[in-house]
């Protein structure tokens, strides 16, 4: 059930009607949402519902021990057990194939051939997101971000909540649990804001990301030697926009659907390609993921007696790279970003020691700086999109040795690229003013127009055009 499909929005409408009917009976509403959320996940592969149950059960039990047991040693053991169990599941499903393939590649160097019959572990959809979300509960209880445990039903709903189950935002237990207790009533204002976000998400996904993939990115990466250098460079920038519009489009839809049902999900993007440094990019890009690594990994290792800030940054960014995928290209992606952020930190430290003020960019220098950082981010996207390091090198080789000067960009692809830049770089105040104007339209008229647009775009969308981050 792809969330840009008509079937998803029929399902979401059913969920909304159920929430509206049960809004004065909070426990019944939560039971209803839990059941339909599990049904939603099982439509992809019913077998992996057992995985969701296992992650839910282990982390809930650990949280209960942490909040109730008097001995600190037992509480620490419960926390370590929950984190270890959750990460073990993640590593098995996500990284088994990578390590086994790497082992066989190594053995082939010494003439050993053959393949294991246990290779090709199926990757459960959304495994990285649900694993990280699960371990926030025992950690938040241990660090007292949450001061009391919840019911098993509330925690199960927190884990399975269907709008953001597959690709985030990564919601923390301390953020979501209070909302389950408050039982916020549905409102016309929230409905209109939610519909607006859904429309924006569909535009990003169907009218931009999918078109860029079909007409520019996929052809360029499938046969880079057949295209000109300029087209291959444009394809890299197109991919930067594609991956942003794809994930932020999903996030907009998730936040919009949740808002209509009375729940608030955290903002996940803040115009990341307006960043003035690589560190600033990570403060704007996939905010719930990057802040998770900051608060739950960086903060945990910075007090190790042998660590230092540069080692910590490199370790965190390698972890971010590996989180995105099992491959040496993702490791290198993390190393590059960790190194760039470390260099930026070192340079700012030197400026501070010399008594120089922080760098401030304005006017033309700001535009040049934004373009510079956007280009750096785009170049590293090559490692993100290519299948492996060899494919990345092949793409770069094709740029340097192109034999044609053709630029086969169709009008629809050029329009999608222009719309992507327009949506991203338009000043926030203009966008907010447009949103405020939209929600002033009479509710019934606005709802009619937006629902019609949602229907049309969902009907036009492809059930096969899965979101990029579903693989993570």
Question: Do residues 304 and 435 share a domain?
Answer: yes
Give per-residue pLDDT as tens, 364-421.
Answer: 999 999 999 999 999 999 998 998 899 999 999 999 988 777 888 899 999 999 999 9
What's the domain range around 96?
A: 24-183
Query: With 80 as the cut, is the pLDDT of residue 314 above it?
Result: yes
Give per-residue pLDDT as tens, 412-458.
Answer: 999 999 999 999 998 877 777 766 666 566 666 666 666 677 766 66
Look at residue 1 and tell me if it is in a domain.
Answer: no
Question: Do residues 374 and 229 share a domain?
Answer: yes
What percent of the chain is modeled with pLDDT above 90? 57
Torsion of CA 460, 461, 464, 468, to 10 degrees: 160
Q: Residue 357: its pLDDT value, please?
A: 77
Look at residue 18 and tell me if it is in a domain.
Answer: no
Among residues 183, 215, 247, the one where a domain terminates is 183
Question: Do residues 361 and 299 share a domain?
Answer: yes
- What region does 269 belong to: left with phi over 0, alpha with psi -120 to 50, or beta? beta
Give per-residue pLDDT as tens, 93-140.
Answer: 888 877 777 777 777 777 666 665 555 778 888 899 999 999 999 999
Domain count along the chain:
2
* Mean pLDDT within 316-324: 93
In angstroms, what CA-CA distances link 116 with 120, 134, 228, 325, 342? 9, 32, 41, 21, 40
Q: Provide the whole-model pTM.
A: 0.89
* Mean pLDDT within 283-294: 94
Give per-residue pLDDT as tens, 241-287.
Answer: 999 999 999 999 999 999 999 999 999 999 999 999 999 999 999 99
Q: Residue 392: its pLDDT value, please?
A: 94
Of the listed ranges 82-86, 89-93, 203-207, 399-403, the one predicted with least confidence: 399-403
Question: Do residues 200 and 339 share a domain?
Answer: yes
Q: Residue 472: its pLDDT value, please?
A: 54
Query: With 90 as the cut, is the pLDDT of residue 338 above it?
Result: yes
* Mean pLDDT within 14-29: 92
Look at residue 284 and tell me if it is in a domain.
Answer: yes
Q: Residue 64: its pLDDT value, please?
A: 93
Q: Residue 262: its pLDDT value, please?
A: 92
Burial category of 119 from C-beta neighbours within 10 Å (exposed 0-12, middle 13-18, buried 19 and up): exposed
Q: Residue 237: its pLDDT value, please?
A: 97
Question: Do residues 208 and 167 share a domain?
Answer: no
Considering only CA atoms, which of 432, 337, 414 is closest in space to residue 377? 337
* Mean pLDDT within 172-189: 86
Question: Do residues 172 and 238 share a domain?
Answer: no
Query: With 60 as the cut, is the pLDDT of residue 470 above it?
Result: no
Look at residue 157 and tell me if it is in a domain.
Answer: yes
Q: Residue 466: its pLDDT value, please?
A: 59
**Residues designated as active site:** 324
How many whole angstroms separate alpha carbon 206 and alpha carbon 251? Answer: 14
Among residues 128, 155, 183, the one where a domain terminates is 183
Among residues 183, 218, 240, the one where a domain terminates is 183
Look at residue 103 and tell me if it is in a domain.
Answer: yes
Look at residue 6 and tell me if it is in a domain.
Answer: no
Q: Residue 274: its pLDDT value, please?
A: 95
Q: Residue 306: its pLDDT value, please?
A: 75
Question: Do residues 150 and 114 share a domain?
Answer: yes
Question: Do residues 317 and 404 share a domain?
Answer: yes
Query: With 90 as the cut, is the pLDDT of residue 78 above it?
Result: yes
Question: Do residues 294 and 344 share a domain?
Answer: yes
Q: Residue 467: its pLDDT value, please?
A: 59
Question: Do residues 246 and 367 share a domain?
Answer: yes
Q: Residue 339: its pLDDT value, please?
A: 96
185 or 238, greater pLDDT: 238
pLDDT class of 189 with cuts at 50, 70, 90: confident
Query: With 60 as the cut, is the pLDDT of residue 469 above it?
Result: no
Look at residue 321 and tell me if it is in a domain.
Answer: yes
Of the listed ranges 19-33, 55-69, 449-463, the one predicted with least confidence: 449-463
Average pLDDT over the chain reads 87
Look at residue 17 and tell me if it is in a domain.
Answer: no
* Mean pLDDT within 166-192: 86
Question: Do residues 244 and 179 share a domain?
Answer: no
Question: Do residues 111 and 94 share a domain?
Answer: yes
């Amino acid at each position: 059930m792809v969330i840009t499909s008509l079937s998803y929005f029929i399902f979401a409408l059913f969920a909304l009607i159920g929430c509206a009917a049960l809004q004065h009976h909070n426990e019944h509403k939560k039971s209803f949402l839990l059941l339909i959320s599990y049904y939603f996940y099982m439509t992809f592969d019913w077998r992996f519902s057992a995985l969701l149950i296992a992650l839910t059960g282990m982390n809930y039990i650990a949280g209960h021990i942490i909040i109730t047991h008097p001995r600190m040693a037992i509480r620490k053991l419960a926390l370590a057990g929950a984190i270890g169990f959750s990460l073990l599941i993640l590593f098995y499903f996500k990284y088994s194939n990578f390590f086994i393939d790497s082992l066989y590649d190594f053995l082939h160097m010494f003439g050993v051939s053959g393949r294991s019959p246990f290779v090709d572990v199926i990757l459960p959809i959304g495994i990285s997101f649900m694993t990280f979300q699960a371990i926030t509960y025992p950690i938040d209880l241990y660090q007292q971000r949450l001061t009391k445990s919840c019911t098993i039903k509330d925690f199960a709903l927190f884990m399975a909540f269907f709008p953001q189950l597959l690709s985030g935002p990564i919601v923390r237990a301390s953020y979501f649990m209070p909302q389950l207790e408050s039982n916020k009533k549905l409102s016309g204002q929230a409905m209109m804001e939610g519909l607006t976000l859904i429309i924006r998400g569909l535009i990003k996904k169907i009218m931009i990301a999918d078109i860029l993939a079909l007409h520019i990115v996929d052809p360029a990466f499938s046969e880079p030697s057949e295209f000109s250098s300029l087209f291959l460079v444009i394809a890299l920038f197109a991919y930067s926009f594609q991956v942003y519009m794809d994930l932020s489009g999903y996030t907009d839809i998730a936040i919009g659907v949740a808002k209509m049902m009375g729940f608030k999900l955290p903002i996940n993007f803040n115009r990341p390609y307006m960043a003035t440094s690589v560190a600033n990019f990570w403060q704007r890009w996939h905010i719930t993921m990057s802040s998770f690594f900051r608060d739950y990994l960086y903060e945990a290792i910075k007090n190790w007696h042998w660590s230092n800030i540069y080692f910590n940054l490199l370790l965190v960014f390698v972890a971010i790279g590996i989180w995105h995928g099992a491959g040496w290209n993702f490791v290198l992606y993390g190393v590059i970003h960790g190194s760039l952020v470390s260099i930026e930190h070192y340079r700012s430290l030197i400026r501070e020691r010399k008594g120089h003020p922080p760098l401030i960019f304005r006017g033309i220098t700001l535009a040049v700086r934004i373009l510079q950082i956007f280009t750096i981010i785009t170049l590293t996207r090559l490692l993100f999109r290519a299948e492996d390091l060899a494919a990345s090198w092949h793409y770069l080789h094709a740029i340097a040795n192109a034999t044609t000067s053709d630029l086969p960009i169709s009008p629809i692809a050029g329009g999608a690229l222009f719309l992507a830049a327009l949506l991203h770089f338009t000043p926030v105040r203009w966008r907010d003013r447009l949103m405020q104007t939209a929600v002033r339209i009479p509710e019934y008229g606005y709802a009619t127009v937006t629902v019609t647009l949602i229907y049309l775009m969902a009907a036009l969308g492809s059930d096969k055009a899965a979101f990029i981050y579903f693989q993570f």
